Amino acid sequence: MGSKIIIQNAQLAVPNDPVIPVIMGDGIGPDVMQAMRLTLDAAVAQAFGGQKKIEWLEVLAGAAAFAKTQEWLPRETLDAIKEHIVAIKGPLTTPIGGGIRSLNVTIRQELDLYACVRPVRYFEGVVSPVKRPQDIDLIIFRENTEDVYSGIEWKAGTPEADKVIEFLQKELHVNIRANSGIGIKPISAFGTKRLVKKAIAYAIQNHKPSVTLMHKGNIMKFTEGSFKEWGYQAAQEYFPQETITEQEVADNGGKIPDGKIVIKDRLADSLFQQVLLRPTEYSVIATPNLNGDYISDACAAQVGGLGLAPGANISDHVAVFEATHGTAPKYADKNMANPGSVILSGVMLLDYLGWQSAGQLITDALAKTIQQKIVTYDLERQMSGATKVGTREFAEAIVKNLAC
Ligand SMILES: NC(=O)C1=CN([C@@H]2O[C@H](COP(=O)(O)OP(=O)(O)OC[C@H]3O[C@@H](n4cnc5c(N)ncnc54)[C@H](OP(=O)(O)O)[C@@H]3O)[C@@H](O)[C@H]2O)C=CC1
Ligand SMILES: O=C(O)CCC(=O)C(=O)O
Ligand SMILES: [Mg+2]
């Protein structure tokens, strides 16, 4: 049963019993998604005294879909997500070097989920490879539909690759070695500006001090370099009153006018070391697709690993929540993986519905469970004196702590 979320006056109108499509996923997906559902159901029931309830609608993708329908990503799954507006998914396997294209990327592209939003925060008690993990409070806005990630590529030696090489040689006098694989890196003004607009809007709404444009524009001048230019233009066009550039701050004797958000940019390689050495200088990061993929796993490591790394893929309304990590195949069906990432993705989903009180209950209970040193294998192996529990038992411990 359940009722549909609808859009009214450009806002989500959320019933008390929204239907939320859920893809259980491959590998560790089913284990962590069951744990997520258990936790969200308990928190929603507690926060709203039984007045609200999520009605989960299982939809198929990946191996489960193929086994049943001979399709990896059935059209009905995409239609169900579009129709119900908010969904959550487990990770899906992508073969390397051939085979099907990434289903995860296909979902983002098909639904135009243009912003991949990945917050990185520290939970006290988690052992981290850095000295002051508590200084890290970042949120990555990764462009989610373009870049080399868009999957426009041809294998070396195919007629298509040879044709592109020949075209480039003949028409543009560019030499590429024979027998090269070819990939295309499209980055547009449209894609960049809507992403940066969302990142700055988030910074304004959440009182964040800065938005950093992360790019490799010294080398890839007309893709990542243009990302930087268009990013600054987006700030100027959409938020001229609310933002100031780092250069303007310098010209202003280093003073930041009250409430203004500083827009700055950093080369991608440099930013990887800056977030390690001076994390307090960074807050919201906006970046093209591939940089965003890399920096989100690297930042997750700084706060203890991929077990506590949530995320969301968001368009103007439709949103699909998912963890940053993948299917971790060696832990599939072992009740071992940390469900923390997808549970925190569920917290993002609850916030998106406007059910923040339920989300806050979960965040507090998760923090408490870690402080009690009840953790899954990934955190336990780094902590001393911790109790190692399975995926399901970790979720049960969180649920127990909801009540306290
Ligand atoms: N959005 C998606 O659906 C994504 C899908 N993928 C896909 O997933 C598959 C596997 O990719 P892979 O490179 O192994 O990356 P994964 O993120 O799946 O796993 C890499 C390692 O990270 C650690 N890890 C990941 N998730 C958890 C968790 N929940 N709890 C504890 N530790 C965790 C494990 O480390 P350790 O071994 O040290 O314990 C694991 O071996 C590939 O097919 C890839 O394409 C990848 C990323 C995103
Ligand atoms: O689609 C995949 O298999 C990998 C995607 C990924 O690593 C990511 O989106 O972070
Ligand atoms: Mg990734």
* pLDDT tens per residue across span 173-211: 999 999 999 999 999 999 999 999 999 999 999 999 999
Known catalytic residues are: 149, 216, 269, 293
CB 382 less than 6 A from any atom of ligand 2 = no
Write the residue with the smallest CA distance to atom 47 of ligand 1.
326
Ligand 3 centroid vs 269 CA: distance in angstroms?
17
Q: How far is residue 373 from each of residues 124, 338, 376, 380, 383, measured CA to CA in Å? A: 10, 14, 9, 8, 8
Ligand 3 centroid vs 298 CA: distance in angstroms?
10
Give the model's pLDDT for residue 227: 99
Q: Hey, what domains does the chain have and what are their CATH numbers?
A: 1-116+310-404 (3.40.718.10), 129-144+186-302 (3.40.718.10), 148-184 (no CATH)
pLDDT of 91 over the 90 cut = yes
CB 105 less than 6 A from any atom of ligand 2 = yes
Write the residue with the smallest CA distance to atom 46 of ligand 1.
326
Distance CA 293, CA 325 (A): 10
Whose CA is closest to 139, among 203, 51, 230, 225? 203
Ligand 1 centroid vs 339 CA: distance in angstroms?
12
Q: Using alpha carbons only, what angle is made at residue 260 by residues 257 and 265, rounded to the nearest 5 degrees?
A: 110
Write the residue with the smallest CA distance to atom 7 of ligand 2.
293
Average of pLDDT values for 78-87? Answer: 98
Testing ligand 2's pocket by substitution, the residue of 293, 321, 342, 345 carrying the most ligand atoms inside 8 A of its CB is 293
CB 104 less than 6 A from any atom of ligand 1 = yes
Ligand 1 atom closest to 337 (CA): 30
Average of pLDDT values for 274-301? Answer: 98
Residue 251 marked in a binding site: no
Confidence of residue 98 (pLDDT cuts 50, 70, 90): confident
CB 134 less than 6 A from any atom of ligand 2 = no
pTM for this entry: 0.98
pLDDT of 404 over the 90 cut = no
* pLDDT tens per residue across span 102-149: 999 999 999 999 999 999 999 999 999 999 999 999 999 999 999 999
Whose CA is closest to 287, among 219, 215, 236? 215
pLDDT of 403 over the 90 cut = no
Ligand 1 centroid vs 379 CA: distance in angstroms?
15
Which has the higher per-residue pLDDT, 170 or 99? 170
Are β-strands 11-13 and 284-287 bridged in parallel, bridged antiparallel, or unpaired? unpaired
Distance CA 328, CA 297 (A): 14
Testing ligand 1's pocket by substitution, the residue of 306, 381, 391 carrying the most ligand atoms inside 8 A of its CB is 306
Tokens at residue 336, please? Answer: 């071992």
Write the residue with the smallest CA distance to atom 15 of ligand 1.
326
Q: Is the ipTM of this complex over 0.90?
A: yes
Average of pLDDT values for 289-313? Answer: 97
